[in-house]
Amino acid sequence: MSKSQPMRLETGGRIDRNKPLSFTFDGKKYAGFEGDTLASALLANGVRVVGRSFKYHRPRGILAAGAEESNALVTVGLGALEEPNVRATLQPLYDGLAARSQNCWPNVRFDIGRSLDYLHFLWPAGFYNKTFIWPHWHWYEGFVRRLSGLGKLPPGDDPDRYVHHNVHCDVLIVGGGPAGLSAALAAGDSGARVVVVEQDSLLGGSLLWSEGDINGEQGDIWLEDAVRILRQRDNVTLLTGTTATAWFDHRMVIACQMVTDRRIPGEGEGPRQRLWKIHAREIILATGAIEQPLVFANNDRPGIMLASAVQQYCNRYAVAPGKRMAIATNNDSAYGVAGALRNAGVDVVAMIDSRQKLAGKAARLVRDQGLTVFHNAMPRDCRGDKGVRSVSVTKRDSLETLATLQCDCIAMAGGWQPAVHLFTQARGKLRYDASPGAFVPDEIPPHMHVAGMVAGALDLETALEQGREAGLAAAGDGLEVRPRTRSKNTGALHIERAWSGQRSSRQWIDFQYDVTLQDIDIAVAENYTSVEHLKRYTTTGMSVDQGKTSNVNALLALAARTGRTPGEVGTTTFRPFYMPVTLGALAGRDSGEFYAPLQRSPLFACHEQLGAQFEDYGAWRRPRVYPRNGENEQQAVNREAVAARTSVAVFDGSPLGKIEVQGPDAAEFLNRVYINNVPSLKTGRARYGLMLNENGIIIDDGIFARLADNHYLVHTTSAGANRIHAWMEALLQGDWPDLDVLLTPVTSQWANIAVSGPRSRELVERLETGIDFSNNGMPHMSMVTGTVDGMPLRVLRASYTGELCYELNIPADRGAALWQRLLQLGADLQLMPIGVETLGVLRTEKGYLHVGSDTDGNTTPGDVGWGRIADRKQGEFLGKRSLSRTFNTRDGRLEFVGLTPVQQGGVLAAGAHVIDADRSGAPAPTRGYVTSACYSPNLQRYVGLGLVQDGSRRLGETVNVYDAGEVQGARISAPAAWDPEGDRLHA
């Protein structure tokens, strides 16, 4: 083969040698073939160091060939398309792929952070907890945070598109290997709707790389047939490149599909990833098993790989991970690998087997192949910092060296752990089975089936049989038949665990998070012997790979050191997600402009025309202010606020919540939800009301008006419109079904324009409405109906500015016309459109409460000066009983008051703490808060509102206000700083 791929085998593999691809790794150009993964292409090019470990910055190579890879995390793509922490083993190669190593500086071959490794004895397990407590964690935090983390956030927003897709099926099969395909054939035959999810880009699982005969033919031929049959079936959906990563209640599985694995700007039109939400009647798990590493000194060096991965690279990708292989094992599965490597022409130097002797098939293979085997032996240590060069072999029970083997790759066969992640997420129970030496499914949850290696099957025949049985059961009634979970051949591995007696060098358990056997010793010595404690103290299994290659060894080590069986030790809890999912896939289309529905007032275009500065208030995009001639925001607010008190202002109040309440029991209903007396309100009049929850806490306020005998209009805060409507619905349906009341939310049916200011009457009288706007004809707190231009008009005289004010309500589609009309008619009155910020200034000057700003989750009517209204009301209302709870009547409650700076030019800010007058700074007990504050252009000083302990009894007292280190005096006053007598309202 070409020199550019020195480790590529001459023949074989499922790669297309006619389609060469070029890619870069850390800026250097390499070649590969269609069908490669990034990992196989790097190995083909002899690249051994691909990353650095998390804690010690040790050089690391490729460990595995699939999802369990814990070392080869790389960043793929450039610029905003960058994706960190991509497993090189799962990334299909494409032309132009650009990948970079992570967690190293200046580069992956020479990394300054490695100094942490040379000083490793300073930071064993638990060193954080012991070291960073003096003088304080925060003293170290900045430094530690800079050191930690895996990968970097991409610069810029992700330009790719991600979508969600819901699907319902009878049978979901997770895993497209022999067992999964066998299940799909059986279930598909029955006509059931079947979805098969396979993580790999190809179906076939182990058939893609291991030798095995099915029905006397090569596995290959069976695979081709199976896939062809399944593809022809309309009732079977095959999803490749799709990882089932989380199980949720009622049998929903989330799977993430790589629709395109390429990260090339501007390429393709479809989504990059698709998140499948699969609702299944029955679930078959054929998720296979994950080979476990062996634990020996420096077993994390580049060139040390899982044996099955070596076989995969060799057979599927035609890549020899080494020229001279040593194979270390504790079971029979390694002998098949040795045979495969020999057949591919790779030199197997020796087998290092920790067991006493061999029997059966393995023994035959040794004879036939003429393999050198060290029995009862273990790797003692290995050399080669940037790639293994040699391994020393000792007797299992002593440290007597038997040999030192020159080799450039060590394959580890430590047994197979079923991939039980989804199984245990679904609350399936595991049992430790000594014969495969793994935690296997025991109690299977309802509507779930297991087949193949995940069920403990170790040979093809059993896997296919289990798959077929599971497929039939799931497609049938799903309840009666239970596939057998135990293989008749589970003893086939002849596995025997062994631990090296050597203690001088570190032996890795968790490669990604750098947890060693020595760390587990420390945890045990400090009595962290519960598996959950061990995990948290040592961080084993907490890495990005979630312990796929580390959990079993950690548990077995813990068991061995505490004299328990693995079953007694148990496993930690498996939680979603099995594999990480990009945030983009989870967000789907619900990001950016689609994050939440944007609500716009029917007058939106009018505001744009006036050059409004917009802001999102809750769901509504509203004008903040209308700056003119290069004004800044403060200047614009000042101009608008002065005009509103000297001439006339128009304000778009359309988002104001509006609920129509109708029916014979409308008055009774409202009387129960307001603290105010409702039935005494006469038709045509309006009242300000407070609503409480059953705890007596204010949840909303607003004006309600009686339009007719059995017809009320309830105004809520803009933010409370949906919440209050839903709350009223719940009351009527659940608590008072006997009340005959109909609720209609009409917020968006009506445009609302508040015309406010001393000259507002003059302006509204210029409209032809037939309404008498005089103070006698329409007094403060009244509501009348009329028409303008033949359209219905509802006018409410009520005020949130403190000035004479008429709120004009008109059907939404006519709102813009009315607004324009008012602008024309008011031109000679110095009419001024005002925004939400200006309204906030006006109401703060006037001392009007804003529920949510000036109240919190403890505020009762008594705290805001409405105690007497509540007390005097006859009859029951929600929350009334709670008002007499001691908590609500005791001294020291936070009460709503005005706050005025004592000093000339003093500034108040919302959020500032109120402290005692004799305290000049922190620390000091908080006596309340400034809840609203702003500069008042009408009073030419700052005005503030706040919640202050016993405030209503302390009017005139001076307190201190603490804000970001500054302290100043403020006088407690009544809330209203502007027109406290309210004369202007009744003008």
Partner 1 sequence: MFRIPCPFCGERDEHEFVFGGQAHIARPEPAGQVSDREWAEYLFFRDNPKGVHLERWQHRHGCRQWFNIARHTVSHEILAVYRLDEAIPDMNREETV
Which stretches of the chain bind partner 1, using CB under 8 A?
Answer: 166, 248-250, 252, 277, 279, 427, 446, 694-695, 726, 729-730, 733-735, 737, 876, 880-882, 885-886
Of 965, 900, 882, 913, give the one whose Cα is nearest residue 939: 900
Element (H, E) at 509: strand 508-510
Distance from first CA to last CA of the chain, Å, rounded? Answer: 97
- Which two structure tokens, joined as six digits, stand for 263? 């990260």
* For partner 1, the closer CB: 11 or 874: 874
Dist CA 224 CA 15 (whole Å): 16
The CA–CA distances, whole Å, from 659 to 597, 666, 733, 748 equal 21, 12, 17, 10
* For partner 1, the closer CB: 142 or 737: 737
Q: How far is the CB of 249 from partner 1 (least distance, A)?
A: 4
Q: What is the dihedral of CA 218, 221, 222, 228, to 10 degrees?
A: 170
Q: How far is the CB of 888 from partner 1 (least distance, A)?
A: 11
Q: What is the dihedral of CA 59, 63, 67, 73, to 10 degrees?
A: 20
Q: How far is the CB of 734 from partner 1 (least distance, A)?
A: 5
* For partner 1, the closer CB: 576 or 663: 576
Rg (CA), the chain: 37
Could you write out the DSSP letters of every residue in 613-660?
A: EEEEETTEEEEEE---TT--HHHHHHHHHHHHHHSEEEEE-TTSEEEE
* For partner 1, the closer CB: 629 or 886: 886
The CA–CA distances, whole Å, from 302 to 61, 76, 800 equal 4, 21, 72
Q: How far is the CB of 690 from partner 1 (least distance, A)?
A: 18
Q: How far is the CB of 446 from partner 1 (least distance, A)?
A: 8
Element (H, E) at 680: none
Three-state SS for 582-613 is CHHHHHCCCCHHHCCCCEECCCHHHHHHCCCE
* For partner 1, the closer CB: 279 or 342: 279
* For partner 1, the closer CB: 874 or 940: 874
* For partner 1, the closer CB: 446 or 664: 446
Q: How far is the CB of 885 from partner 1 (least distance, A)?
A: 6
* For partner 1, the closer CB: 599 or 844: 599
* For partner 1, the closer CB: 400 or 729: 729
What residues contact residue 85 under an 8 Å CB cut-off, 6+ apart?
73, 75, 102, 150, 151, 544, 580
Q: What 3-state DSSP class applies to 867? A: helix
Q: How far is the CB of 945 from partner 1 (least distance, A)?
A: 29
* For partner 1, the closer CB: 383 or 881: 881
Decide: 553 and 293 in contact? Cβ < 8 Å: yes
Dist CA 187 CA 472 (whole Å): 5
* For partner 1, the closer CB: 267 or 694: 694
Q: Could you count the other beta carbons within 10 Å of the beta carbon of residue 715?
A: 27
Q: How far is the CB of 881 from partner 1 (least distance, A)?
A: 4
Decide: 219 and 178 in contact? Cβ < 8 Å: yes
Q: How far is the CB of 876 from partner 1 (least distance, A)?
A: 6
Strands 98-100 and 194-197: unpaired
Dist CA 444 CA 427 (whole Å): 8
Q: How far is the CB of 729 from partner 1 (least distance, A)?
A: 6
Q: How far is the CB of 434 from partner 1 (least distance, A)?
A: 30
* For partner 1, the closer CB: 88 or 195: 195
Q: How far is the CB of 742 from partner 1 (least distance, A)?
A: 13
Q: What 3-state DSSP class applies to 404? A: strand
